[in-house]
């Protein structure tokens, strides 16, 4: 994978790309990938598959402690080196596909005061050879990525807040972080015990979990 770090794209900058079912590389990008799942990705996917978050996490994901942040990171488990949701006809969870699938071939870089994008080039991907031009803003709109960016920013505020404190989580904090941020259905069940507000709506419960974790770890 080659990331064009030289070129920082703002929302009105453009790139050429077109991806469609007839393209010879169709589905190639859904194989051999590392797909990090954010809290909002998990809520969308588990509802798309009509599963609880606990079942979804058990069946489709694995987690590790992020080298940079020291926090739990959830990734999709591949089956035969491919995303479990790829089919001959394309993505079986297309309406609820994760943020990184939506943004591809862009990667988003976001800091407190800055937001920009890089283009990713992979040898197998023929989408770059197509002549259709997009601004980054148009791509985000077309791919339904705006709400994902907003939700991910809320989560990343927590991650960066913990990171900037240089805090190392103990086992109890690690377990709480995992439940509060990724396992919305378990969080709802344990809300009284943890002291986190209970919400019926999954997205609201996820946001409560992130808020709870912020208070618990950063205490602001
Ligand atoms: S054009 Fe790129 S993104 Fe589209 S199917 Fe081919 S490899 Fe995947
Ligand atoms: S979720 Fe869909 S688009 Fe993303 S890797 Fe899997 S099959 Fe491909």
Confidence of residue 3 (pLDDT cuts 50, 70, 90): confident
d(CA 96, CA 102): 9
pLDDT at 220: 55
Three-class SS of 66-123? CCCCCCEEEEECCECCECCCEECCEECCHHHCCHHHHHCCEEEEECCCCEEEEEEECC
Q: Is the pTM here over 0.85, yes or no?
A: yes
Number of domains into which the chain is organized: 2
| Nearest atom, ligand 1, residue 20 CA | 4
Q: Give, for ligand 2, the residue of 77, 80, 101 to mutate: max count of ligand atoms closer than 8 Å to Cβ.
A: 101
The answer to whether residues 42 and 66 belong to one domain is yes
Distances (CA, A) of 7 to 10, 114, 119, 160: 10, 15, 8, 25
Q: What is the pLDDT of residues 20-38, one digit of tens each?
A: 999 999 999 999 999 999 9
Count of H-run helices and E-run strands, the chain: 9, 10
The answer to whether residues 39 and 130 belong to one domain is yes
pLDDT at 49: 98
Of 102, 119, 144, which residue is a domain's last? 144
- Give the structural domain span for 177: 150-217
Ligand 2 center to residue 163 CA distance, Å? 29
Of 90, 112, 144, which residue is a domain's last? 144
Of 144, 174, 202, which residue is a domain's last? 144
Ligand 1 center to residue 73 CA distance, Å? 26
Closest CA relative to residue 177, chosen from 34, 163, 112: 163
Closest CA relative to residue 38, chosen from 46, 50, 28, 30: 46
Q: Identify the H or E element spanning 8.
A: none
- Is 131's pLDDT higher than 90? no
Q: Is 151 in the pocket of ligand 2 (CB under 6 A)?
A: no
């Amino acid at each position: 994978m080659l990331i064009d770090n030289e070129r920082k794209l703002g929302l009105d900058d453009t790139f050429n790309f077109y991806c469609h079912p007839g393209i010879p590389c169709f589905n190639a990008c859904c194989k051999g990938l590392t797909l990090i799942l954010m809290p909002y990705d998990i809520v969308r996917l588990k509802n798309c598959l009509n599963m609880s978050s606990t079942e979804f996490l058990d069946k489709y994901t694995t987690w590790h402690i992020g080298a940079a942040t020291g926090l739990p990171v959830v990734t999709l488990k591949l089956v035969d080196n491919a995303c479990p949701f790829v089919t001959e006809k394309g993505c079986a969870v297309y309406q609820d596909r994760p943020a990184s699938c939506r943004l591809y071939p862009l990667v988003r870089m976001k800091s407190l005061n800055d937001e920009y994008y890089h283009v990713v080039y992979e040898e197998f991907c023929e989408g770059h050879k197509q002549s259709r031009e997009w601004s980054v803003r148009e791509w985000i709109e077309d791919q339904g990525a705006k709400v994902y960016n907003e939700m991910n920013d809320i989560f990343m505020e927590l991650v960066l807040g913990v990171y900037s404190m240089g805090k190392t989580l103990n086992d109890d904090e690690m377990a709480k972080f995992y439940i509060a941020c990724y396992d919305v259905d378990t969080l709802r069940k344990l809300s009284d015990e943890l002291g986190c507000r209970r919400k019926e709506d999954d997205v609201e419960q996820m946001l409560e979990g992130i808020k709870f974790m912020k208070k618990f770890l950063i205490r602001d």
